[in-house]
Amino acid sequence: MSATIIDGKAFALKVRGKVADHVARLKADHGITPGLAVVLVGSDPASEVYVRSKGKATNEAGMKSVEHRLEADTSEADLLRLIDDLNNDVTIHGILVQLPLPDHLNEDLVINSINPAKDVDGFHISNVGLLGTGQKSMVPCTPLGCLMMLREQHGSLSGLDAVVIGRSNIVGKPMAQLLLGDSCTVTIAHSRTKDLAETVRRADIVVAAVGRPEMVPGDWIKPGATVIDVGINRLDAPERGEGNTRLVGDVNFASASEVAGAITPVPGGVGPMTIACLLANTVTACSRANDLDEPEGLTA
Ligand code: NAD
């Protein structure tokens, strides 16, 4: 059996198109432009790349993008003051503080100082609680993107057995909550899980969010299952020339794609959906802030 490859790049373009349409309607009908502020403290090279591509994607969707770049030694008080200003700025509907923060800054304190209605990363403790209790919230972008791809693949997820490998606050736990919300029977597996292979073999849906290159082999996958590979692992690739690297997921794509019914590749699967969902969350936050209808198909 050869799996359907879920094209995250193409799907993300569709989501971004829907966002742009909704933005155009907000502008034309209500004179409102959604605004996203991204705050970067320090100059971590990977974070710089993320922030640049977030800004570009925000502009391409017709939204306002604001970047605040602060020195690595910025004090917590100064950062909290900036967040307070953004909380009170009516032209800003989404605030994202790029993580990780330098060690002297308390990440929880900083994230929880964002107005939950503007917390487009969905990491504020209020949004975590709202999601956990099945209420309207801002949902973390990566799991939201995974959910959208699963719904597209299956239609209803009701009654399906899902295994989420990884229990992080940004991927594993919210993913499990979303799958539960869609009436899956959910198992969260992690580094202490006793028989991971057997646990995964029972699953109609496998979401791998671990950060270990190709740790899930094809013979763990139930024939026909849908596999969502969140992992991004960079490996040396001397075969591509001296100093070159390549990206692989947490799933062994070659063997898993022989067994699965559908699978996301790495790169080109979950990654592009994450940024598309950030844009979706921003336009959702803007619609809610103005008591307008939310965009269809862009929320959980
Ligand atoms: P994390 O390090 O916070 O969490 C990893 C989880 O994996 C932990 O809960 C741990 O219990 C579990 N784990 C570790 N070893 C295990 C093992 N042997 N068996 C089973 N579980 C094990 O990581 P994270 O932030 O959730 O990210 C996970 C992966 O997803 C990383 O590769 C990260 O780069 C990637 N990621 C991708 C996107 C995207 O946009 N595609 C977004 C976020 C994270």
Residues within 6 Å of ligand 1 by CB: 142, 165-168, 170-172, 189-191, 193, 196, 209-212, 230-233, 270-271, 274
Task: State how far the Cα of 163 lies from the Cα of 271, in Å rounded to an integer.
Answer: 20
Q: For residue 121, what pLDDT band results from cuts at 50, 70 and 90?
A: very high
Nearest-10 crossing angle of helices 125-132, 172-181 = 30
Fold category of 30-115 in CATH: Rossmann fold (3.40.50)
Instruction: For residue 18, report the distance from its CA to the centre of ligand 1, in Å.
Output: 29
Q: Which atom of ligand 1 is nearest to the CA of 269?
A: 41
Q: Ligand 1, atom 31: nearest CA belongs to which residue?
A: 211
Whether 54 is a known active-site residue: answer yes
For ligand 1, mutation pick of 167, 230, 277, 278 (most atoms within 8 Å of CB): 230
Q: What is the pLDDT of residues 161-202, one digit of tens each?
A: 999 999 999 999 999 999 999 999 999 999 999 999 999 999
Q: State residue 74's pLDDT score.
A: 98
Nearest-10 crossing angle of helices 8-30, 141-154 = 110
Q: Ligand 1, atom 8: nearest CA belongs to which residue?
A: 166
Q: What is the pLDDT of residues 33-45, one digit of tens each?
A: 999 999 999 999 9
The answer to whether 70 and 78 are in contact (CB under 8 A) is yes
Model pTM score: 0.98
Nearest-10 crossing angle of helices 141-154, 270-289 = 100
Q: Where in the chain is the domain with CATH 3.40.50.10860?
A: 30-115
With b for 16 or more beta-carbon neighbours within 10 A and e for fewer, the 74-95 pattern comes to: beeeebeebbeebeeeeebbbb
Pairing assessment for the beta strands 94-97 and 35-41 based on DSSP bridges = parallel
Whether 98 is a known active-site residue: answer yes
Q: Where in the chain is the domain with CATH 3.40.50.720?
A: 141-272
* Residue the block writes with tokens 């849906």: 205
Task: State how far the Cα of 154 lies from the Cα of 222, in Å rounded to an integer.
Answer: 16
Instruction: For residue 163, report the distance from its CA to the centre of ligand 1, in Å.
Output: 14
Catalytic residue among 18, 118, 119, 121: 121
Catalytic residue among 18, 54, 118, 222: 54
Q: Which atom of ligand 1 is nearest to the CA of 266?
A: 41
118 pLDDT more than 80: yes
Q: What is the pLDDT of residues 245-275, one digit of tens each?
A: 999 999 999 999 999 999 999 999 999 999 9
Residues with Cβ within 8 Å of 231's Cβ and at least 6 positions away in sequence, in order, are 208, 209, 210, 211, 212, 213, 248, 249, 250, 251, 266
Q: What is the pLDDT of residues 143-156, one digit of tens each?
A: 999 999 999 999 99
130 pLDDT more than 90: yes
Q: What is the pLDDT of residues 6-17, one digit of tens each?
A: 999 999 999 999
Instruction: For residue 168, report the distance from its CA to the centre of ligand 1, in Å.
Output: 7
**Homologous superfamily assigned to 141-272:** NAD(P)-binding Rossmann-like Domain (3.40.50.720)
1 pLDDT more than 90: no
Token digits of residue 265? 């590749």
